[in-house]
Amino acid sequence: MRGLILILVACTLCPSLHAQTIEGTVYDTKTKEPIVGVVIYLDGTSIVTTSDINGSFRLVVGSIINTTMVLSHLSYESLIIEKPFEHREKTFYLKEKMNLLEEAKVVADRFSRADKMRVFKEQFLGTSAAGKSCIIVNEEDIVLNYDHATNTLVGFSNNPIIVENRYLAYRVIFDLHRFIVQYSKMTLQITDATKVLYKGTSSFFDQSPFNIMIAKRREETYLRSSQYFWRNFVAEKPDNTRFKIYNRYRQIDVNEYFIVSDIASQKRVMVIPETNLNKGHHRVLEGTIYGVISVQSNRNYRSEVVFLTNHFFVDQFGNPDPVDHLMFFGDMGDQRLGDMLPMDFVYNPSSRTSR
């Protein structure tokens, strides 16, 4: 595909010695009354709870995760808390949703809903075995419009999208904030796409925690994921049999171009300035590029990583922050929701048990 691909989206072994606790109370902004049944979760993880009759909640997490915290309720606007492990406020207020009926507009459209939904599923769920196995339970909630003036397919949903991933046995609740596929001409052919972007928050629910076949599929998915790449990237002794890293066409050692240091329970990665690290990429037209590397896995998956920052952090689960300043192209960049595991996924093949 030509053009820029951005995915927000979003798994390791070693928990922190000290569990992290996030707690608070949720109130209605207008009435100041506590709200029961608010779903509180760490975005992209399986860590979720709900507020009780007093509006109180408590999340206990084994280790800091580089993600946001979401407070969600069908009757209220969602509240997203950045850096929840650093957030000191214990009181949260939600605004009630306005029940406004949008005026229905009939617009001539050369593309059918079935055609637009096909593109949505391909770019939202993916075309891998996992992506093709996914079923959107509430497909009717998704609104898809094609803007003929800009050749852009736009999608949104007023309700969270419920996805059943039968290959990896997860139910994923995805609150879609934005979905865009922009084309160079009036078409739905993905070869003519110049930008694919979707944003939102998600929570994962394990549907089959003790199945050996499912565990093996998850392990195989994890070993080709960006989370596993970053975890290996910052390891004291990286497994060079898993990933080979190149600067242009020369295989390199991470320490030639990056400084990795311990900061609290995370790793800090800094790009060493004034080196000959490649700083250009033909598909990135905006922002300052601090470096570009090529990655080849032991299964011959090929990817490129573009650094739009000169430093970032990686948590113990292999999740980088800020994630939107690191871009993947190639195999890891083409992964979609169907290929995603929870950000708190623990890779531990020796613990497999049969049902």
Cα angle 301, 307, 310; round to 5: 145
Mean residue pLDDT across the chain: 90
Mean pLDDT value across residues 168-174: 98
Mean pLDDT value across residues 295-309: 93
* 209-245 residue pLDDT tens: 999 999 999 999 999 999 999 999 999 888 888 899 9
- 336 pLDDT higher than 90: yes
Residue-level pLDDT at 243: 92
The CA–CA distances, whole Å, from 61 to 80, 230, 303 equal: 18, 21, 31
Higher-pLDDT residue of 3, 165: 165
* 123-141 residue pLDDT tens: 999 999 999 999 999 999 9
* 95-110 residue pLDDT tens: 998 764 444 454 567 8
Query: Are 280 and 247 within 8 A, CB to CB?
Result: no
Of all residues in the chain, the percent with pLDDT exceeding 90 is 81
